Structure 1
Amino acid sequence: MCWSAGADAVAGAVVGGLGVACLLQVRDPRRLPLAALPLLLGLHQLVEAAVWLGTDGRIGPGAAQTARTVWALMALPLLPVLVPFGVWCATGPGARRRRIGPLLVLGCAVAVPLVVAVLRHPVTVQVRGHTLAYAVGLRWAPLWVAGYLVATVGALLLSGDRALRTLGVLVGAGAAACAVVWRLAFASTWCALAALAAVLLLGWAGGPGPAGPAEARQGAGSPGP
């Protein structure tokens, strides 16, 4: 979330461009789900540019409602599934993947009520200072938000990959910063957070995938130089 339609459009184009670069860097298919995250974040900001346009009547009510619904579906149920799934894929077989599995299940469990809330209740939005406040009619919201953060941030922190752990710390700290700044009705930090995440994943996407058990055994048994 940025502070205006123009800012969201520019940020979305930049982050989306980094997302395309991420996908082009991938050498191991297991990294594709997470490598696609920056492209998703860029598209998300472009959608929010349309939401901003709807707040002052520059697009029709139907298009504005569609933009709000698409924004909510991308932000709420999709990310808590995509992030742990992407980490689960990228981690490769072994003990760490087994640790990520429960977080993937948690993300899927959190996504179900979020999907239902978005589809059953019209998504509303209010301009508050330089931010947008969305409402989807979700009951027990703090519970689902906690599960959301545990599934996404927890998966990154447990990945065993230094870049992904750094991203997990960044996302956790960024979520807290975004909440504080949003309460002050100042410009959201989400644009900067999405850009930083995209840069981190751009460097990570081109790396080699994790060695599976068979590959590890072969490497351990191979003769030295």
Structure 2
Amino acid sequence: MCFSASASFTGSAVIAGVGIATLFQVRHQGAWFLAAIPMLFALHQLLEGIVWLGIDGRLESPWPQLAGQLYVFYAQGLLPLVMPVAVWRFLPAGERRRVLPFVLTGLALSLYNLWFLTTLPTDIGQCGHSITYHNPRTREMLVALLYIIATCGALVASRRRWLVIMGLANLAGLSVVALFRMWAFTSVWCFYAALISVMVYWHFRRARMAQGVEEYKQGHHIHQG
């Protein structure tokens, strides 16, 4: 994340709290993966906090290097698949066809990125107040375009109001970061996406409240009958 280790750790703690609250809202098995997204982002920010400690000279190797590799493996190698699969699992079986193209795109991109993240060195450094993760093959324009399609497209294609808003907000964040801070794209956008994942909590919270109201009405009707 931008700024410092303390900012990353604070962000991680706050988002983890939201993640735990989100998991408590889940009522059916297919929603667990999507509900876990905020928690995954919280762990992601925790890793970058460890990277910052290494950059600041407050933590010796190999832990900062290992945290940096895990961070970029998730951000570039797994997230393009995790997001569309989470949406695919969440939707009813009859609606999953809408997001299948994004799952396949995410799978192809994840395999591509993981291959080059494994076989080519990724330089991790600091520029301004952000951490840079540079791998020559995962920074290509086509890769960035497919990344946007996979991570944002499935959310929009879900046709669930809050997920669509989340997808559009992430798309806006990707565009802004690409225009003004491309050299720290992975770090800055992942933090932004972590904040936007709070919308997942509101989605499940609203759904559970609506279900609770419906159950109350049904129970009250039976009682009156």
Alignment check: 8 A CA contact 1:68 1:124 kept: no
Alignment check: 8 A CA contact 1:8 1:45 kept: yes
The residue number in structure 1 matching 2:52 is 52
- TM-aligned CA deviation for residue 192 of structure 1: 4.7
Normalized per residue, the structure richer in helix is 2
Residues paired across the two proteins, number: 205
The residue number in structure 2 matching 1:104 is 103
- TM-aligned CA deviation for residue 176 of structure 1: 1.5
Structure 1: how far apart are the matches of 2:173 and 2:15?
16
Structure 2: how far apart are the matches of 1:178 and 1:44?
18
Instruction: Map 1:1-16; keep pairs closer than 5 Å.
Output: 1-16=1-16
Q: TM-score, normalised by structure 1?
A: 0.84
Q: Which has the higher contact order (CA 8 A, sep 6+)?
A: 1
Structure 2: how far apart are the matches of 1:183 and 1:189?
10
Alignment check: 8 A CA contact 1:178 1:190 kept: no
Q: Could you say what secondary structure the match of 1:25 adopts?
A: coil
Q: Could you say what secondary structure the match of 1:59 adopts?
A: coil
Q: Could you say what secondary structure the match of 1:133 adopts?
A: strand
Q: Could you say what secondary structure the match of 2:131 adopts?
A: strand
Q: Could you say what secondary structure the match of 1:125 adopts?
A: strand
Instruction: Map 1:60-79; keep pairs closer than 5 Å.
Output: 60-79=60-79
Larger deviation, residues 174-183 vs 36-45: 174-183
The residue number in structure 2 matching 1:85 is 85
Report the AA paired with residue 32 of structure 2.
L
Instruction: Map 1:80-159; keep pairs closer than 5 Å.
Output: 80-94=80-94, 96-138=95-137, 141-159=140-158
- TM-aligned CA deviation for residue 188 of structure 1: 4.1
1:39 aligns with 2:39: yes
Structure 2: how far apart are the matches of 1:56 and 1:100?
42
- TM-aligned CA deviation for residue 183 of structure 1: 4.8
Report the AA paired with residue 140 of structure 2.
A
Q: Could you say what secondary structure the match of 2:181 adopts?
A: helix
Q: Could you say what secondary structure the match of 1:60 adopts?
A: coil
Alignment check: 8 A CA contact 1:131 1:182 kept: no
Cα RMSD (Å): 2.0
Structure 2: how far apart are the matches of 1:116 and 1:40?
22
- TM-aligned CA distance change 1:164 to 1:113, over 3 Å: same
- TM-aligned CA distance change 1:8 to 1:101, over 3 Å: same
1:203 aligns with 2:202: yes
